[in-house]
Structure 1
Amino acid sequence: ETVRRESEVVARLMSEGADFTQADRAALLAEVGALVRAIVPRYRALAASGRVELSTTPQHHPIGPLLLDFHALHEATPQAPLPEFGRYPGGIARLGAQIDAALASHAARFGEPARGMWPAEGAISLACLRQLGARGVRWVASGEGVLANSLREHGGYDRGRDLYHAYRADGADPVVFFRDDRLSDLIGFEYRRWHGRDAASNLIGELERIAREAPQGETPLVAVILDGENPWEHFPYNGFYFLSDLYQGLRAHAAIRTWTFSQYLARHGAAASRALPALKAGSWVQGNLLTWIGTPAKNRAWDLLCSAKQSFDLVISSGRLSAAAQDAARRQLSDCEGSDWFWWLQDGSPSPAMLAFDRLFRAKLAHLYRLLGLPAPIRLAEPICRGDGEGNGAVAMRRSGA
C-alpha cells in the first residue's frame, strides 16, 4: 500500500489504467526489482533497530513431528490411521538438516542466527523441541489447540488461566509461546469487513478485557500470530488504515506494551515461563496433525516419499554419485519433504488445485529417482487423490479451528 501511495511510476500507471506501452512495462518491472532487492536490507535494518524480530522456519517447511515419528499423530488423535511405514526413514537426521539449513540461511542474510522459530504450521512435539533446543533456538511458537490438548489431562484447560503465559516443556529451552487463536483469527478473517479504526479499537478492547479478567497479580502475555494467512489484500487499502490506527493505539496506550519474544525473555528471565507438565504433538490447525497425515490420500503420499527415501539412502551410501549429484539429490529430497504436498491431498472430490499438487508431488518424486540414477516407479504415474475430480473449494487460508 505504501508503494501504491508513494511510487510515481505506480501512481501514474494506475491513473492511466490501460493501453500500457513497452516502456511502461519496463518501468514497472524496474520498480518491482528495486523493491525485491531492498527486502533483505530493509528487514536487516529493522531487526538491528529492535523494531522487529526475525524468526525462521525449517528450510523446506516440513512437519517436524512427522519427520521424527508418524506416531506423533496419535498423541492428539489416537484412532487416526497411519501410513504403512511407521516412521520416516532417517527422519531425525533429515529434520536436523532442515533446521540447520534454515539457521545458516538466516545468519547469512541477516548477520546473526535466528533466536526463535515458528516451526512449519506451528507443528511441535517434545522430540522436535529437543532438536531445536540442541541447536540454540531460544523460543518457538505454536497454536492454542496444542496447549489445550496438552493440559486437558493435567487439571484441564482454562483460557484465562492458562493461555497467556510462556511455557517450558521438559524443563529446558526453547520456551514455547502459544497464540491466541481468537484474536489472531479476528485479524486473519474478520476485521477485513470492518472500518479500520473500529477494528483497531475492537482489538485493543479485547486486550483490555483479557487484562481485566486475568487472575489477580498476573500480567497476561498475549501472542497474536498469523500463519499462512495473507489477509491484507482483503482489507480496504491493504490494511493501511487498520494497521496505522492499531499501532498508534498500542503506542499511546497506558497499560499495553508490545514485545518481541526475545525482548520478553530478556526482560523477564527465568520467571518468563511456566513448566508444561506434558506436551501433546500438534499444530496450529485444530491442535493436531490431521491436516498432513491420517487419511488415505495423505498416507499414500507419505508411503511414496518413504519408499523414495529408502532408495535415496541406498544410493547415497553406495558412494556412486559425485558430490555435486548428491547435493542435487538432497535438495530435491528436501523439497519433497515440505508440508504443502500433504496439506492439499485428499480423496472424495479433489479440487483442481489438489489435483495439481498431486501431479507436482509425483513429478518431484520422479525427478528425485532420476537424480539418483534410478527409474521412477510405475506407481508414480497413478494419481494419489481418488474421486470424481469435481472439487470442493479447498483453500490455502484456514482458521485455526477449521
Structure 2
Amino acid sequence: MARMANVIILWHMHQPYYVNPVSDVAILPWVRLHAIKDYYDMVKILDFFPNMRVNFNLVPSLLVQIKQYVNKEITDTFLEYTKRDSHVLSERDKTFILKNFFLSKWDRLIKPYPRYQELYNKRGTMGSYEEIKEAVIHFSNQEIMDLQVWFNLSWFGAYYKQHDEGIKSLIAKGRDFTAKDKALVIEKQYEIMSLIIDKYKELQDRNQIECSTTPFYHPILPLICNTDVASESSSGIHLPEQFQHTEDARGQLIMAIKYFEEVFGKKPAGIWPAEGAVSDEAIQVIAETGISWIASDQDILRMTLQKQNKKMELSSINQFYTYEGKNNKCIDIVFRDKHISDKIGFDYKDWETDSAVDNLLATMESIVDNLEETPNMPLIPIILDGENAWEYYPNNGWDFLYKVYERLSSHRNIIPITISQYLKQNTQSKKRITSIYPGSWINNNFNIWIGHEEDNSAWDLLRKVRADLVQWQTMKEIGITISEEKRLDLAWKELYIAEGSDWNWWYGNDHSSKNDKEFDELYRQHLLNIYEILGIVAPNEVFVPIKKVSQTKPAKEISSIISPDIDGRVTDFYEWQGAGCYDTQKITDAYLEKNLINKFFYGYDESNIYLRVDFNNLLEYMSEDKDLSLIVYFLAPSQGKVRIPLAGNCSETFFYWNKGKKYELSESSSIISMFQRILELKVPIADIGAEKGSSFKFILAVEKQSKEIERWPIGNVVDFEIPKEMDLISNWIV
C-alpha cells in the first residue's frame, strides 16, 4: 500500500499599519499595491482548483487598511502623487515621483515593459540626488504622466493583466497615456481591493480555505509578555529595561479575534504568532483565549527537543504536537518545514518553472516515501509569507502556483488540507510538549527586534510612553467623562500600533531600506499622538530620531553670530549669512504628501535666538486654509513651544511653558515675529530659560486645524550650542 500524507500550505499575509491616524494618510503604498498584485490573486487562483485546500493567515492591521481604502477613509502619499495633473506639477512633485515611482523589482516589474524601462534609463538607474535633479529638468509632462501610470500599472497581479480588458488595453497601449487612462488604473485598484475580503470569506464558507489571524498589530508576543525572555535564546544579549505587559498581549489577541469574527462571521480556530515567535508565557496567553492551534518554526522544535535532551528526527516536523501549559490549558502546535518553505520563498524564483515544480513535488514525495507509520496521518507543513516572494518570480508566481496546485489537486499520495480539517480527522493522541524554547522563525531568537542600541531605545521609549498613559488613566479613573473615555481608547490604539513588530525590524543593523527615516518617524509619531490625544506634553525623546544612520543633516552649519532685523524681509544680503540652514527640498521622502516649508535658517547673538522660515506659496495656502499655524517646539534647555498663526503678517505669537506635563500660556513673552516675504522670529534667550554655554534644541511643525501636517527636520532635531563667550572672530568658520 502506498504511503500517504497531508500537505498543509499556510500563506501569511501582513503589512504594518502605515497610516498616521492624525492625517489618515499612509506613508507607504504597500497595502494598496500588494492588494492588487498578491492578496486577490492568491485566493482567486483557487477558483481553478476546487479540490485544492489552502490556509491563509490574515493580520487584522492589513484587513483594516484594505477596508479603509475601499471606504475612502484613507489614502497614501504615492496615490496622491499619482492623481496629480502631470501638467501642473511643481519641481518638488516631480522630484518625488522620479525618486519613488521606480520602487519596483527591476527585472520583473520594470524591464518587461519597454516604456517603463525607457523612463527608468532616462531618470538614471541609480536614482541618486544628482540624477534626479538633472532628470526633473528633462522629463516632459507626458513622460511624467506615463511614469505615474506605469508605476501603478506594473503592480497589477497576473489575473487582471491576463483577464481584465481595461488593464490589458493599457499594457498594449504602452505610452502616451491620458488622464482618462490614469483614472482607469486607479478605478481598477479600488475594484480589486473591494473584492479581496469577500473572496476570502467566499472560499472559507465553502471550506476550500481556512483563515487564521495574528495579534492585531503584529506584536512579537513573547517580548510584549516579557522582554527578558530574549536572554534565554541569546546569552549575553544587552537588553533594555524590562517591558512586561501580558495584559497587552491578551488585549491584542482579543481585539484580533473579535475583529476576525466581525469580518468572517466566526471566530478563528488558529493563530500564527507574529514571526512565528513563541514562549511559554505567550502560548499560555493564546491558549486562554480558546484558540485551537498555533504554528511556529522547525528550529523552535529542534531547540525545544534539545532542551529536553531529545533527538530531532527527520519525521519530527511531520506531525502536530500538543502543548500542555498551566492549569491544563492545551493547544495544538505545528512546526513548518523550513527547507521546503524557504525553497519556495527564496530559491525557486530563479528556476525554470517546470523544474521548480518538479523539484518541489519530488521533495514532498521523497518525504512521504520515507515516513514511518504513525497513529495520525503524517503531514508536510509549508508556511511562509504570502506576498513578498512573488515579485521575484516570473509572472508574479502565478505560473508556479498554478502548476503546483494542479499537481497537488490530483495527487494520490499527497493530499492538501486545511489545518482544522486535519485536526478534526486526526484525533489520536499527539506527542506532548510542556515547555517550549523561546524564539522566532528567524534564527530561533528575538535579535531582530531587541538587543541593538536602536532596538533597545525603541523599547525604552515605548515603556516610558506606556507608563505616562497609565498614569493619565489612573488619574481619570474616578469621574472620567465620555469624551475622555474616547480619547483614552484612541491613545491605547496608538500604543498597540507602536507595539507592532515592524518598527524594530528596521532598527539596528539587521535590515535597512530607502524608507528607514519614514518608519522611524511614523513609530515616534504614533507615540507622540498619545500625548496629543491626552493633551499632555510629550517628552523630548519622542522627537529625537532613533535610527542614527539616517539622520538628516543640515545643508549648512552655523558659522557666525547673526542679528537680523525682524521685518519679514531679507533686509540685507549678509544678515542671515552666518546662520545654519535646512533645505527641505533636498530631503525628498515619502513621509509627507506635500510641504509648506521650503527652507529654514537659525542662529543667535548675545541675547536672542533667531529663526527664519521660507515657505512654498504661503499666501496661496493662507487663502485656502484659514487655520494654519507654525509651531516651534523647544526641547532644550527647557521645554516650551511657540505657536504662530499663519495669517496676515504673522506677528501674533503665543508662547507656552511646560508646567508639569501641561503647556501653559506665558503672559510675559518678548518673542516677536513678522512675515512679508519670509517669516522671521526673535526669541530672547532669557525667555526660554537658556544660558550661554547651554545646548539648544528645537524642531518645527506646521499644524492645520490643530493637526500636525509636517515636521522638520525629518529624522533629526536642530541642535547647537550657545557659546559661553560671544567671540565674533573665533566663531567664524573659515
Give me the TM-score of the superposition, normalised by structure 2: 0.51
Change in 2 beyond 3 A, CA 1:315/1:103: same
**More divergent stretch after superposition (161-170 vs 177-186):** 161-170
The answer to whether the aligner puts 1:100 opposite 2:254 as a matched pair is yes
Query: Which residue number corresponds to residue 183 of structure 1?
Result: 340
CA gap 1:348/1:226 in 2 versus in 1, 3 angstroms? closer
Q: Which residue of 1 aligns with 2:419?
A: 261
Q: Please state whether the residue corresponding to 2:523 is helix, strand or coil.
A: helix
Q: Aligned residue for 2:383? A: 225
**What secondary structure sits across from 1:174 in the alignment?**
strand
Q: Is the CA contact (8 Å cut-off) linking 2:307 and 2:437 kept in structure 1?
A: no
Deviations 1:230-255 (A, max 9, x none): 11121111112111111111122221
CA offset digits 1:24-68 (Å, max 9, x no partner): 222222222221111111111100111110011111111111111
Instruction: Give the AA of the match of 1:53.
Output: E
Q: Which structure 2 residue ranges, 5 or more long, are not aligned? A: 1-157, 553-734
Asked if the contact 1:341/1:358 (under 8 Å) is kept, the reply is yes
Q: SS in structure 2 opposite 1:254?
A: coil
Contact 1:70–1:87 (CA under 8 A) maintained in structure 2: yes
Could you give the per-residue CA deviations for residues 336-390 of structure 1, whole angstroms, max 9, x where no partner exists? Answer: 1111111110169966433332222222212222222221111223222334879
Cα separation, 2, equivalents of 1:347 and 1:183: 28
Q: Is the contact made by 2:545 and 2:551 (CA closer than 8 Å) also made in structure 1?
A: no
Residue matched to 1:325: 487
The residue number in structure 1 matching 2:279 is 125
Which shifted more, 20-29 or 234-243? 20-29
RMSD: 2.1
**C-alpha distance in structure 2 between counterparts of 1:298 and 1:62, whole Å:** 14
Contact 2:448/2:510, CA 8 A, preserved across alignment: no
Gaps of 5+ in 1: 391-402
Contact 1:126/1:169 (8 A) holds in 2: no
Aligned partner of 1:5 in structure 2 is 162
The change in CA–CA distance for 1:133 and 1:224 in structure 2 (over 3 A counts) is: same
Residue equivalent to 1:81: 238
**How far apart, CA to CA, are the structure 2 residues paired with 1:137 and 1:211?**
29
8 Å contact from structure 2 (residues 505, 511) kept in 1: no
Contact 2:516/2:550 (<8 A) preserved: no
Aligned in 2, Cα 1:196/1:74: closer, same or farther, shift over 3 Å? same
Contact 1:297 1:346 in 2 (8 A): yes
**1:110 counterpart (264, 267, 271):** 264
Number of positions where the alignment pairs a residue of Structure 1 with one of Structure 2: 386
Which structure shows the higher strand fraction?
A: 2
What is the deviation of 1:159?
4.5
Counterpart in the other structure of 2:621: none
User: What is the one-letter code of the residue matched to 1:24?
Assistant: D
1:151–1:277 Cα contact (<8 Å) kept:
no
Alpha-carbon spacing, 1:163–1:35, altered in 2? closer, same or farther (3 Å): same
2:523 maps to 1:361? yes
Q: 1:39 to 1:347 in 2, by over 3 A?
A: closer
SS in structure 2 at match of 1:237:
helix
Q: Distance in 2 between matches of 1:13 and 1:31?
A: 12
**1:241 aligned partner:** 399
1:23 corresponds to: 180
Distance (whole Å) between structure 2 residues aligned to residue 349 and residue 37 of structure 1: 33
Please state if 1:199 is matched with 2:356: yes
> Secondary structure of 2:412's match?
coil
Q: Is the 8 A contact 1:347 1:387 kept in 2?
A: no
- Post-superposition offset of 1:216: 4.8
**CA, structure 1 residues 95+210, in 2 after alignment: closer, same or farther (shift >3 Å)?**
same
Aligned in 2, Cα 1:146/1:348: closer, same or farther, shift over 3 Å? Answer: closer
Judge conservation of contact 1:145–1:284 (CA < 8 Å) in 2: yes
CA apart distance, 1:87: 2.6
Distance change (3 Å), C-alpha of 1:62 and 1:46 = same
Give SS of 1:278's match.
coil
Deviation sequence 1:133-183 (CA, Å, 0-9, x none): 111111111111211111112234425132211112226432111111111
Q: Deviations over 1:258-291 (max 9, x none)?
A: 11110110001243x3212430111111111111
Larger Rg computed on CA atoms: 2
Q: What is the letter of the counterpart of residue 473 of structure 2?
A: I
Partners of 2:550 and 2:273 in 1: CA distance: 35
1:186-205 deviations in whole A, cap 9, x for unaligned?
11111111122211111111
**8 Å CA contact retained: 1:83, 1:302:** yes
Are residues 1:138 and 2:302 paired?
A: no
| Aligned mates of 2:278, 2:387 — CA distance in 1 | 19
Aligned-pair CA distance for 1:97: 1.2
SS in 2 for 1:223: strand
What is the rounded CA distance, in whole Å, between the counterparts of 1:309 and 1:388 in structure 2?
26
Correspondent of 2:214 among 45, 57, 60 = 57
Q: Does structure 2 conserve the Cα–Cα contact (< 8 Å) formed by 1:349 and 1:389?
A: no
1:371 counterpart = 2:542: no
Counterpart position of 1:71: 228
Match of 1:169, as an amino acid? Y
Which is further off, 24-33 or 200-209?
24-33
Give the structure 1 partner of residue 464 of structure 2.
307
Q: Structure 1 residues 33, 322: closer, same or farther in 2, change over 3 A?
A: same
Instruction: Name the structure 2 match of 1:334.
Output: 496
Aligned equivalent of 1:149: 303
In 2, the alpha carbon distance for the partners of 1:36 and 1:18 equals 26
- Match in the other structure for 1:36: 193
Alpha-carbon deviations, 1:318-342, whole Å to 9, x = none? 1156111111111111111111111
Q: Which has the higher contact order (CA 8 A, sep 6+)?
A: 1
What corresponds to 1:398 in structure 2? Answer: none
Q: In the alignment, is the contact (CA less than 8 A) between 2:323 and 2:433 conserved in 1?
A: yes
Alpha-carbon distance in structure 1 between the residues aligned to 2:505 and 2:255 = 23
Alignment partner of 1:302: what SS? helix
Identity across aligned pairs (percent)?
Answer: 31
Quick check: 1:345–1:357 contact (8 Å CA) kept in 2? no
Amino acid at match of 2:403: D
Contact 1:44 1:110 in 2 (8 A): yes
Bigger shift: residues 72-81 or 236-245: 72-81
2 CA distance for matches of 1:337 and 1:225?
24
> Quick one: distance in 2 between partners of 1:29 and 1:347?
37
What TM-score, normalized by structure 1, do the two folds share? 0.91
